[in-house]
Structure formats: structure tokens, C-alpha cells
Amino acid sequence: MSSAGSAGDPGTACPVSPVVDIVFSRWTTPILWALNSSGRQRFVELERRIPAITPKVLTQRLRQLERDGLIVRTYHPEVPPRVEYEISDLGRSLGPLFASLARWADTHLDEVEEARRGYDSASRPLPA
């Protein structure tokens, strides 16, 4: 384990924190999921697959994912210009992680919901 970083650095306390910051930011997972499962796509195709995302945010996330090396952007200089996005080998290497998380969700999300219902229904004294 690396000793780099300050005592207040969450990455020092938890070595997966940087990965969580990269992979699990708000829209990264749905974008990577769409590109991994459906292959190369244009911007409008991604918008259709992820209808809740705004075009501005999709553009920002695609740029960040390209910067992080998780997707590849290909510009085709034709009329009209065409841009396509696809998951990179580095992004594809996250597949086993996503598969593990999907299995965990299938196995445990019902338990999480049950725990939430129990917590929410319990009467708790208000903090002083």
C-alpha cells in the first residue's frame, strides 16, 4: 500500500476511492453500460438510451471519460460531420466489476430495501 498522500486524503485511507470517483460518478456507469452492451454509438443514440441525462451533461461526461481513457471518440470528417463513441479496452476491463455489482444487486437489493423500510418505520427520538 502506498504511503503517498496526506492523512486527510480519502485515497490513503481507502485505496478504491479514486476508482469510485472515476467510475461511479453520476452518469458514468449508464454511459459505459450503454457503450459496452450496444457497441459504438453516436451522441443522439446515447441520448435516447439515457433519456434522463441532459445534452450538456452527456457532453461533459463523454469528454471526461475520453480523458480518463475509458472511451474512444472517433470524428468522421464528412458532410455532415459524424462523431461516434465506443468503450475502450480500458473501459471494457471494468466489465467484471460491473458484472459483480449486478450479481450483488440481484442478491442483496431486496435486503437493502427491507432494511430501509425497517429503519424508516422505526420511531426514533429526535436529536437533542
pLDDT in tens, 39-79: 999 999 999 999 999 999 999 999 999 999 999 999 999 99
- Which of 66-70, 79-83, 118-122 is most confident? 66-70
Q: What is the pLDDT of residue 21?
A: 85
Residue of 7, 23, 9, 6 lying closest to 90 (CA atoms)? 23
C-beta neighbour count of 46 within 10 angstroms: 20
Q: What is the pLDDT of residue 1?
A: 44
* CA torsion angle 68 39 60 67 (round to 10): 20
Q: What is the pLDDT of residue 7?
A: 53
Domains and CATH numbers, the chain: 12-121 (1.10.10.10)
